[in-house]
Amino acid sequence: MRQCLAPGCGRPSAGYSRYCQLHKATLRRHGAIDQQGVTKADLKPYADMVRRRILANPGSPAWDRMEARWAALVRHCQDVISSYEGGFATAAPKLRAAEEIVRLDGLVPARDVVATAAAMVVMDRLDPHRFRGDQAFRTQLVRRVRGLSEVNATTYRDWATGKSRRTYRELAPRSADVMGAWLQETLGVLGFHIARLVQEEAQAKRKEDQDLFDALVALK
């Protein structure tokens, strides 16, 4: 019997997988065997950074242009679906990712999708150890964007506690990777720019504090 290849895990591997059932499920759900899920609370500080930029620049054409990029992605996905329905061969992960994008567009305002994707990129840039690789980031990006809609959520009663709990239906890993790559390529530029601005402001604040300290030390 083979053992799970996850470091420190002595459980038997699940079927033909390299990992035990627990690590196999974590890989599928989160994109890496040691990746922690990004919750709405985890993302909030970074979402606030994006929101502050939007509020501080209400007349900027950047927001409309980002929404236009999202609309272009939706049209691309509609074309993928139409091509499949017209009889052309389409890879299943690509088709499933396209269906998710189109469905999301019908349920969630474009600005919310743009802001959430940007916040995830800001998190990745400002906390580079948060994600265990590109696949893990894309998987978490998809989870948070899909979480904007209630259509992927189901509620069940935890009989041990008597409380209702919510869980989300997950995309297959390959479909999540395709969808995540599309979101990152289309909307990531905003997050990169905001992260750079935040870093520059933090650097300027550190310099200002150092200059003040130096001036105080020089007092006689």
Q: pLDDT tens digit string along 75-126?
A: 999 999 999 999 999 999 999 999 999 999 999 999 999 999 999 999 999 9
At residue 36, the 3 state secondary structure works out as: coil
pLDDT of residue 81: 97
Kindly state the tokens that stand for 20: 């035990």
pLDDT of residue 183: 97
> Where in the sequence is the domain holding 67, given as residue range(s)?
38-217
Same domain, 73 and 170: yes
Residues 62 and 139 in one domain: yes
> Is residue 125 domain-shared with residue 77, that is, in the same domain?
yes
Instruction: Tell me: do 24 and 43 sit in the same domain.
Output: no
Taking CA atoms, 72 is separated from 62, 76, 92, 95, in Å, by: 15, 6, 21, 17
Look at the chain and report how many structural domains it folds into: 2
- What number is the average pLDDT over the span 45-49? 97
Mean residue pLDDT across the chain: 92
| Contact predicate 115/40, CB 8 Å | no
> Same domain for 25 and 111?
no
Check whether residue 183 and residue 123 sit in a common domain.
yes
